[in-house]
């Protein structure tokens, strides 16, 4: 059983930056992906980015491509999401998750079975 704890959410101004952390307790395999998702009221979980444990290959959603970066520190068992040039529409609860990697749709929430509790990011205009 993998347990995840996110941290780093905060209130920032438009154009600001944040780095979210995801501490991972438990074993993950090379076939797992670590994903970041976000949710706003009334909107389903939306995949932002994911990283493959095997080789750190990364994927990004169009809304964040070029502004966000996902990476991990394998030794510290921590995943990160660096967010730059934040916009009000980035306001959401952000979740990290671990699941099996599916190349055809790597950021489909359905593939992820371990989730953190979420951390709030609010971007003021």
- pLDDT digit string, tens, across residues 18-63: 999 999 999 999 999 999 999 987 776 678 999 999 999 999 999 9
Q: Nearest-CA neighbor of 78 among 121, 21, 3?
A: 21
What is residue 45's predicted lDDT score, i.e. its pLDDT?
65
Q: Nearest-CA neighbor of 82 among 109, 25, 121?
A: 121
**Taking CA 50 as the corner, what is the angle to CA 56 and CA 120, rounded to the nearest 5 degrees?**
130
Tell whether the model's pLDDT for residue 123 goes beyond 80: yes
Rounded CA-CA distance 91/87 in Å is 8
Tokens of 26: 């438990």
Contact, 95 vs 6, CB < 8 A? yes
Question: What is the per-residue DSSP string for 96-120?
Answer: EEEEE--TTSTT-GGGEEEE---EE
pLDDT band at residue 1 under the 50/70/90 scheme:
confident
- pLDDT digit string, tens, across residues 77-121: 999 999 999 999 999 999 999 999 999 999 999 999 999 999 999
What is residue 42's predicted lDDT score, i.e. its pLDDT?
76
- Per DSSP, helices labelled H in the chain are none
Rounded to the nearest integer, the mean pLDDT of the chain is: 94
What is residue 66's predicted lDDT score, i.e. its pLDDT?
97
What is residue 76's predicted lDDT score, i.e. its pLDDT?
78
What is residue 75's predicted lDDT score, i.e. its pLDDT?
84
């Amino acid at each position: 059983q993998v347990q995840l704890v996110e941290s780093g959410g905060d209130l920032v101004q438009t154009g600001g930056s944040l780095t979210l952390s995801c501490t991972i307790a438990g074993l993950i395999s090379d076939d797992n992906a670590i994903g970041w998702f976000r949710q706003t009221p009334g909107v389903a979980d939306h995949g932002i980015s994911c990283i493959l444990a095997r080789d750190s290959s990364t994927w990004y959603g169009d809304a964040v491509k070029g502004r966000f970066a996902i990476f991990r520190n394998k030794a510290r068992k921590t995943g990160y999401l660096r967010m730059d040039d934040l916009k009000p529409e980035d306001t959401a609860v952000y979740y990290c998750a671990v699941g099996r990697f599916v190349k055809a749709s790597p950021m489909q929430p359905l593939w992820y079975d371990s989730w953190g509790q979420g951390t709030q990011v609010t971007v003021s205009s």
